Chain A
């Protein structure tokens, strides 16, 4: 179970690191090399994004990666094959991140079943609020997959508690409003937000949106359990290739 794995890791480390890749960006072989490098550099969990043509919650860096991956002709089947390969190769939890239409078109039940067969642990679907998620929740629960839900900075505590009833594994907390990959102010107000998050759920907390260096990760220690690095890793890959990714991940703690 994802939550147990996270708690066991937290017994040994004061903060876990979760990274994000877009499968097939810039190509499948490089994606695999990035995963290998990140795992060897000490990443604890990974989000594997299945590219979607309309990624409405993603910022410019991940948006471009989605479009470039799709331009290579990557399919959902190839994303499953990729996920199966990395899950077999590396002993950390892997999650899918994608938009709901990908699951809906595949068939939500079949999607969750194949996730389980591929050795994945759960999924983050940012355009699927709990209100619309009955089929998804039933399928994910049936196949032992963790549905990861999101707390936004303006989510009320009452709603946080309702969301937490549906979530498993951990809760993904947004550090600020907006899309992924832009500047975040890691300061007092964010600490207050995380206190509200902590009070609303027993699940571990991940914090993402704008985490880009060791100082940000240090800020998160003690306030959340997992620091999520997304766009910055893609920027580093774009600028310095796979070796730069390894140095970047090692620099985070």
Chain B
């Protein structure tokens, strides 16, 4: 079983990782040319005004002081005030996380049935035409970058057919379903891009499980094919698939900068990018930390689920 010790060790390494990330981001920010007030006021602003604004924002302090101020406040749960937006950071990060999560949710909604379903069908029909079509199709869609398929889908479904809204941001005050409807077009490129990979992972798992001793035993026991697949093949076949999904969820929550820009969604990826552009350190730090947390957590959850499903891994984890 998973012991308390392994869990706390895992948590400690997570915290250490996050601390390292926060320090690295602050240091990396120092390499960028220019300062926040200069970025805010533009190149033609008076040097006096720039200095005054930097003083107001506290951006004229040494970087270690700035970092310490930020870090000590963050420990108390206060992620500071955005230098460029002049408002608390937390609501911005939460709102953009929400938008990214909504997009990721829609992606998963399409991706999981499509990828896993296709993978199972392919695995059960190994070597036949259906299998080859699914694998080949998956690989073909997988190598098209999301910004290319994004543009194509946008042209076809948004401009020519006029079926779906062009922007991912629903109008002010839109409800749950409307908001989801606006996210379908932005989600599709990612679904196409990832489905093939997911299908191949599932397919490999299914083929492996079909060839395994326990499947043969089950068949010899006289269980019908449907029972064998549902009870014995799928639980074993889907373990690697779940690990893949966990890592991809991390990516979906922060790595979709191009898709977010293309469809005007103010997600976490965009937030971090814009914070870096405007040298807004409190915003950048908080955004990157949330991203890092998601990456580390989703990897950990992937491991955990895998351990729960696979007795071999469970034993290894408790060593």
Does A pair with B?
no
